[in-house]
Structure 1
Amino acid sequence: MKNILLPTDFSDNSWNAIQYAIELFKDQKCNFFLLNTYTPTLYNFEFMKLNKGKVGLIETMNETSKNNIQEVKDKIENQFKNPNHTFSKISSFNTLISEIEELQEDYVIDFIVMGAKGATASKEVLFGSNAVHVIKNAKCPVLAVPSGFTFESPQEILFPSDYEVSFSEKRVQQILDIANRYHSRINILNAPYGCGLSKNQENNNQKLENLFKNITHLFHSLNGKNVTEAIANFQLGVRVNLLVMIKNKHSFFENLFFKSNINQVGFHINIPFLVIPYKL
C-alpha cells in the first residue's frame, strides 16, 4: 500500500491536485494523508505567551482546519468511491515544510502530490514558493500539478537528462511503475551544447537503455538548445502528459530549478511535473 501525502490549503488549485492523485493511483491500494498546516501570519512564541487571546485564535484556526479537511474528505468519498483508497486527516499548527519533515520521520511517505500555481500565476511563475520548497527538501518523489490541469493518462512521459546521474533501478522505479501501469512511452531528452557525451555520460546512457529495456522508450537529442528550450520545443511535436526529472545537486537540475533559470522553466511547464530525489 502506498502512503501519499496531499497538502491542501482548500483552494481550487489543491483540490485539482487531489483529484489528479486519486485518478493517477486509482488502481493501486493507497492511504492518502490529507494535510493542512496553519500559522498566524505573524507568529512569535514569546508574543503568544504574553497574549492569551492569541491562544483562542490558534484554537479557532485548528477547528476551522479540521472542519475544512472533513469537508474535503466527504467531497472525495462522494465523488470517488474507490475501495482501494483510504483517507487520513492531519491538521497541524506548523509550517508546511516542517510538518512534512516530521511526517517523513514517522511514516514512509511514498509520494507527495500538490497543487502548482501554473505558468500564468503572477510572480510565482513555476509552482509557487511552497511547492518549490517542498520539491527542494522532500525525501520522496513530489508530483506538482499545474492549476486547472485535468487528468489525462500519462501516455507520453518526457524525461530530460544530462546523463550525469548514475542511474539505478531504485532511482527510476517510480517512472517504471507509471509506465507499466499506463503502457507509457518514455522520451529521454538530452540537450548537449555542441560537444559529444563524456565516457561517464555514455555509461549512464547505457544504464538507462538497460533499465528501460522492457518499456517503450526513445532517446532524443536537441543540439544547441538549453534544457528549457529543449523541453518547450519537444512539446511542440509531442503531446507530453508528464514531465519527470531526477533531482541531483551535481546535475543540471540544481541550476535549472533553483537558480536564475526558474522563471524560464516555469514559463514552459504546463503539465504535471514529477521530481525524484537522487537519494531515495
Structure 2
Amino acid sequence: MSLFNGTDSCHSFFEKVLLALVTSLKVMKKILLLTDFSKNATNAILYALQFFSGNPCTFYLMYVHKVESYISDDLLENSKDSVYEAIAEKPKAKLKSLKATLIKDYAHEHYEFKTVIDYDVFTDAIKQAVRKFSLDYIVMGSNGASNVKEVLMGSNTINVIEKVSCKTLVVPSGYRFKLPHEFLVVLNPTTLLDQYLMDIIIAFITRFKLKLHVLRLVKNIVDTTVVVNDLDNLAYLGARYQRVEADDVDKAVAKYLETHPIDITTYVAQDKSFVERLFSASPNKEIKSRMNLPLLVLHSQ
C-alpha cells in the first residue's frame, strides 16, 4: 500500500515531515561513540560531533575491553572486582581525559558526555548499551581492510552491522568532515521501502537538509512492481531516483558515485554477503571507492 495516495495523503505527508523536523529539534539524540583510543576512532568521534552540530545530544564514549584479555592466573589469585579495577584503570583515565577535552572544545554545543567501560564480547556489550541507553545511533570508524589490524576492525564493524539493530554511522579512516548535502540510499532487490524506513529517511533528510538520491537495484528491469511502490512513497520528497538491473551491486553503486556528488551512502542491513564484501580482507576497487565516504546503515523492522 502506498504511503501517499490522493490529497489526504499529501496533507498527511507534509504533516509527517513537519512532525519529523519538530521532533528532531526537540528530542535529545543518544549516540554511542566507540573508541579504542586509536587515530581512526578519534577521527570518527570528531566527525560525529561536527555532523550532529546544532542538535541536542548525549554522547556515550564507550571502550570495550576484550574478555580474552583477562589472565586466568590473575582471576584465580585475586577477586574479579580487583582484576577489573586494575584492567580498567588506564582506559578510565583515557576516557576521562577525552571527555574533558570534548567538553572544552564543544562548549558551544548542547552536548552532554558520558563514559562507559564494558568487559564483554564486543557486540554483546554494544547490544546492552543500545538497550540500556535507548540509543539512536552508533558511530564507529573503519579502516577498510588492507592489513591484519584493519581486518580485525573490519570484523568488528561487520559484527555490529549484522548483530546490533541500531542506526550505525561508519566513518572511513582519515575522512575529514565536510557539510553533507547529497544523501544516497541504496535499495537491494529484496529491500522494501516501507513506512518504517520512510519515517527514518524523512526525519534524516529533513533535519540535516539533505538532497535524497535513491538507487534501486532490480533483478528484472521489466518487473516494475517495486518501482511503482518506490515512486509513490518518494513522490513528494524531490528525490533523484534511478533503477538499475544489476547482478554486481558493487559496480552499480560505484558507477552512481562516479556521476553524482554523494556525501553519505546508506543501505539497509539485510544482505549478509553484501556486508561481508564491503569490509572484506581483499575488497575490489568498486567497494574501495565506496568506503571513501561515510556509510549509514539502517535496519528493517
Q: How many aligned positions are there?
A: 270
Shift of 1:92: 1.7
Match for 1:228 among 250, 270, 273?
250
**Number of the residue aligned with 2:57:** 30
State percent identity of aligned pairs.
Answer: 24
Q: Which amino acid aligns with 1:230?
A: A
In the other structure, the counterpart of 1:247 is 269
User: Equivalent residues in 2 for 1:157-196 (5 A)?
Assistant: 157-192=183-218, 195-196=220-221
CA–CA distance in 2 between the matches of 1:173 and 1:16?
Answer: 29
Helix, strand or coil at the partner of 2:296: strand
* Paired residue type of 1:67: A
Correspondence for 1:256? 274
Specify the code of the residue in structure 2 equivalent to 1:173. Answer: D
Select 2:179's aligned residue among 136, 139, 153: 153
Find the aligned partners of 1:120 and 1:239 in 2 and give their Cα distance: 26
Counterpart residue number, 1:76: 102
Residue by residue, what CA displacement relative to the aligned partner does 1:36-76 show, whole Å, maximum 9, x if unpaired? 111365447x6554243987553222111111111111121
Name the TM-score, length of structure 2 as normaliser: 0.79
Q: Deviations over 1:57-108 (max 9, x none)?
A: 5322211111111111112122222442111111122232111121223231
SS of the aligned residue for 1:256 comes to helix
CA drift at 1:13: 0.7
Gaps of 5+ in 2: 1-27
- Which residue of 229, 249, 257 corresponds with 1:207? 229
CA contact (8 A) 1:191 1:226 kept: no
Deviations 1:208-266 (A, max 9, x none): 33333332311123445611011111221222110100112xxxx32211369943364
Contact 2:145/2:154 (CA < 8 Å) preserved in 1? Answer: no
Give the secondary-structure state (helix, strand or coil) at the position aligned to 1:87: strand
User: Secondary structure at 2:95's aligned position in 1?
Assistant: helix
CA 1:260–1:220: 2 relative to 1, 3 Å: closer
The aligned amino acid for 2:250 is T
CA distance in 2, matches of 1:25, 1:260: 25
1:95 matches 2:121 = yes
Evaluate the alpha carbon distance shift between residue 129 and residue 266 of structure 1 in structure 2; reply closer, same or farther with a 3 A threshold.
farther
Residues 189 and 121 (structure 1), Cα distance of their counterparts in 2 relative to 1, 3 Å cut: farther
Checking the alignment, whether the CA contact within 8 Å between 1:97 and 1:134 is kept in structure 2 is: yes
Is the contact between residue 118 and residue 126 of structure 1 (CA under 8 Å) also seen in structure 2? no
**Matching residue's letter, 2:56:** K
Q: Aligned with 1:270: secondary structure?
A: coil
- Structure 1 residue 138, shift from structure 2 partner: 1.0
Change (3 A) 1:29 1:214: farther
Task: Name the SS of the counterpart of 2:262 in structure 1.
Answer: coil
Instruction: Give the secondary structure class of the aligned counterpart of 1:9.
Output: coil
> In structure 2, the residue corresponding to 1:33 is in which secondary structure?
strand
How far the C-alpha of 1:144 sits from its partner, in A, is 0.5
Structure 1 residue corresponding to 2:260, chosen from 231, 234, 238: 238
Change (3 A) 1:219 1:50: same
